[in-house]
Structure 1
């Protein structure tokens, strides 16, 4: 008795499904790092242990998983770590922030810029100027004061004290730093330049460290730098999206 052949498209579908399950096993191993038992992994995935074991053997054979000979527990292999490091190495906050920065400028019609921590403090690395906007203090390469700007104060709130000590001999009050961290956005009104207001918010990398600060700045007569206002909410949403794309899990 002959059996009917499976539809031509069945094999590709099965391969795709197998790849999806294998990826799920890798994700579960990452979530249960540094090592986990087969039973715990199967329970975590809500999948029969025998099925999980089959995929683990395939992953071990390809170097994406390893099994400890003494504990019999499973963990990520060298190939998985190599791929993960390559992915982290390819992430560039300047590239990831470029598009959202321009979009934010278009939506708010104010100058938006990105700053990273340099040898001399908060350094502007990308600027999206709005028409008729003040750009005197937001040129690429500008170093902003650590305590005299919204950008600097956000860096102050999230960087280790030892990183900012040399540039800020008079530290900001702890209650102000805690307020910045609690709100996730910080506003100033005429602090750096009279008549110019600004909002700043942090961007984090995959390890949870501060990667950059995004700031929107405009004339006080037309720009409302209110930490509870729509501009602040839009800024917070933008930095949260960039942080997520960098691997940060809030």
Structure 2
């Protein structure tokens, strides 16, 4: 352990050294899966000799590794372990909540987040507007898969095996007859990244829903703005929809994800 009387210059040098090492680690991540020494040095704006010294220290600690066949550098097992631990700490509710509060204040409409539960889309966080639509936006509410904009987004982006049973229950004997229409709807939602409904779940209640993604383009949840007509029109190309998409993209970016192309 360092003494309280440690030379201030030495402490500053250690901090600076840690900062340089962190920058090189970030660059290795940005240039993943592997990069040459010259490209890495150019990327961080440092002399190759300096970068090489730091790389040797990172390799010794397991945070970097060098491919013996190509001499290229990449992240090591220790860096991957830290990255996975950070991913595991990401909480879609924690990340989405403040952004939904801002969106609620901006639009003056109720905004909520739903995640996929064992019974379908479950509301896990709600930011209520003054004219709240409480009947469909209480925490713990389970929304229909095909009878809500939220559920339809889950249907479009989740693997078929995840939604098949619930879809069959909701459609019953009409499943085969509606298969083609559902396929068209899913394709439209995946292409636009947005679903809008007017009075589907409840008469006079309109909604806009957008997916949010985590690492690997994994669907983490769906955020929805819901309100009553005629005040809230839920136009798919209107300013409210554009703002909702921006918020969803910001949440996804914070979680290291993006909508699959």
Structural RMSD (CA): 2.4
Partner of 1:157: 156
- Compute the TM-score of the two structures, normalised by the length of structure 1: 0.86
Whether the 8 Å CA contact 2:215–2:256 is kept in 1: the answer is yes
2:125 maps to 1:126: yes
2:66 maps to 1:67: yes
- Compute the TM-score of the two structures, normalised by the length of structure 2: 0.83
Partner of 2:171: none
Partner of 2:196: 187
Partner of 2:25: 26
Q: CA deviation at 1:10?
A: 7.7
Moved more, 209-218 or 20-29: 20-29
Deviation track 1:116-169 (CA, whole Å, cap 9, x = no partner) reads 001111111111222232211222111111111100111111111121111113
Partner of 1:143: 142
Whether the 8 Å CA contact 2:112–2:137 is kept in 1: the answer is yes
Partner of 2:97: 98
Q: CA deviation at 1:47?
A: 4.6
2:221 maps to 1:212: yes
2:231 maps to 1:228: no
Inter-partner Cα distance in structure 2 for 1:249 and 1:43: 28
Partner of 1:246: 255
Give the gaps of 5 or more residues in structure 1. 1-7
Q: CA deviation at 1:37?
A: 3.6
Inter-partner Cα distance in structure 1 for 2:184 and 2:20: 48
Whether the 8 Å CA contact 2:249–2:258 is kept in 1: the answer is no
Partner of 2:86: 87
Inter-partner Cα distance in structure 1 for 2:89 and 2:67: 30
SS of equivalent residue, structure 1 residue 123:
strand
Deviation track 1:76-110 (CA, whole Å, cap 9, x = no partner) reads 12221121112111110011111111222222222
SS of equivalent residue, structure 1 residue 85:
helix
Partner of 1:201: 210
More helix by share: 2
SS of equivalent residue, structure 2 residue 123:
strand
Whether the 8 Å CA contact 2:145–2:155 is kept in 1: the answer is yes
Give the gaps of 5 or more residues in structure 2. 1-6, 169-174
Inter-partner Cα distance in structure 1 for 2:86 and 2:66: 24
Partner of 1:173: 182
**Cα distance, 1:62–1:218 mapped onto 2, change above 3 Å:** same
